[in-house]
Amino acid sequence: MRSFNFKSKKNQKGVTLIELIIASALGVIVIIGVSDGMLAMTYSGRTQLNDNSLQDKGNTAMDYVAFQMRSALASPCDRYTKVRISKKFLKIHKISKILSIEKLMYGLGMKVETEANGAYDEYEKYTVNGQEVVTDKLTYLESDKSVFLDSKVNFDSTGLTGVVEFPKVNPKHPAQPYVITNCKRMDVFIATKTAGKQLTFPKSAIMHPYKANTSTRIAPLFISSLYVKNQKLYRKTDPHSIPSGPLVDGIEAMRFIFSVDTETPTRPIDDVADDVKTAEEIRTVVDNFESAYVSGKSVIDNMQVVAVDIYLLVRAEQSDNASVEDSYTLQWPGRGGQLVNLTFTDQVPRKVLKRTVVLRNNSKML
C-alpha cells in the first residue's frame, strides 16, 4: 500500500497575489520593450527601404538629365560651342519654320524655361500647401549620326556626298536641319532630300567652303526637351515628333541653378565660376542676347556657363503610414534660387536629389 508524506505537502507554499502581479507587470514591461524594439526595427527598415528606392529612382533620372546636359552642343565636335560664339565662324541658313533652332544656336545652346517666364506647353502647376513649386524645362540641341564629307562644298553648292549614307529625310517633313562643321567653322542649313550618300539643300544654304577628306562632318540636328508632367520625367524630340513616353515615374519637379563665369573690364573669362544664376535669370540674359543678335548688333562674349546644379524632387508611388511622419519638410530652390521649405502632409515618401554637372563643352552663352 502506497504511503503519502502529508507533512511535506503541508510545508509547500504557493504564489501570492502580490508576487503574481509583480511578475505579470515585469512580463508586460519586457513584452512592451521587445515590441517597441521590433517596431523601431520595422520602422527603420521601411524607412531605409523607401530611401533606397527613391535614391535608385532619382539616380536613374539624374544620370539621364546630367548626360543630356553634358552632351548638349558637344557634338559632332567638342569645340562645337566654341565655334558658335562668333558670327565669322557660324552661319545659319534662315529657317523660318524652325526658328527655335536659330535661337538656340545664337543663345545658350540650352534653353531653360520655367513657369516664371510664362508657362511652357507642358507646364503643370504644382503646389504644396498653397506654395507653388518651381519646375524647369530644358531644351537643347543634339545631333545624330555624323557623316564625313567626301566632296567639296561651299556657299554656291546645292548638294554634297558623304562617305557613308545619310539618314533618310522624313518624306512628310522634308525640311530636316543639318549641321556641317570642320570644328573651326560651322553652318546650319536645311536638307530637302537625301538619296543614299547624296544630300540636297537649297542654294547658298552653306556659307563657308569645306574640303573633302578632312575632319569635316555633317549631322542632322534635333531639338530635344526634358520636362516633368504628371509626376513623370518626359523627353520630347522636335521637330515632327511626339513625346517618347515617360522616362522615369515619380519625378515631381526639376530645377536648374547655373554657375557662370562673367567677364569684367579687369578680369577675362577664366573658366572659374564667379556668379550663380537661376533659370529665370538665364532666360532673361539669352532673350536680350537673341534680340541684340537679330537686330544686327555685335556679339558680346562676356559670360560662360561653367557648371549646373540639377535638383530633382522624387516621390514614391503611394503613401506609407507605417514609416512616414504625418508632416515632414524638404528644401527646394525657389524663384530667386534660395532654398525654401516645403511641408508635405500626405505621408508619401519623398527625397530631394542634387548633383553638380561640370560642362565638358564649357557652353558659351554670350
**248 or 267, greater pLDDT:** 248
Range 256-263 average pLDDT: 81
- Report the C-alpha gap between 324 and 327 in whole angstroms: 8
Angle at 242 between CA 236 and CA 248, to 5 degrees: 50
Contact 66, 309 (CB under 8 A): no
What's the pLDDT score for residue 12?
Answer: 57
Average pLDDT, the chain: 75
Confidence band of 317 (pLDDT split at 50, 70, 90) = confident
**111 or 308, greater pLDDT:** 308
Give the tens place of pLDDT for each residue, 167-225: 766 666 666 788 888 877 778 888 888 888 888 888 888 888 888 888 888 888 777 88
DSSP state of 96: G
* Residue 135 buriedness (CB in 10 A; 0-12 / 13-18 / 19+): buried
C-alpha distance from residue 144 to each of 150, 222, 241, 317 (Å): 18, 8, 15, 35
Nearest 10 degrees: CA dihedral of 110, 115, 119, 125? Answer: 130
Nearest to 353 by CA among 246, 237, 253: 253
Give the tens place of pLDDT for each residue, 158-174: 888 888 888 766 666 66
333 has a pLDDT exceeding 60 = yes
Give the tens place of pLDDT for each residue, 345-355: 999 999 999 99
Give the tens place of pLDDT for each residue, 89-125: 566 666 554 545 555 554 455 667 766 656 677 878 8
What's the pLDDT score for residue 329?
Answer: 94
Contact 348, 315 (CB under 8 A): yes
- Report the C-alpha gap between 3 and 9 in whole angstroms: 13
C-alpha distance from residue 237 to each of 63, 170, 227, 229 (Å): 19, 14, 12, 16
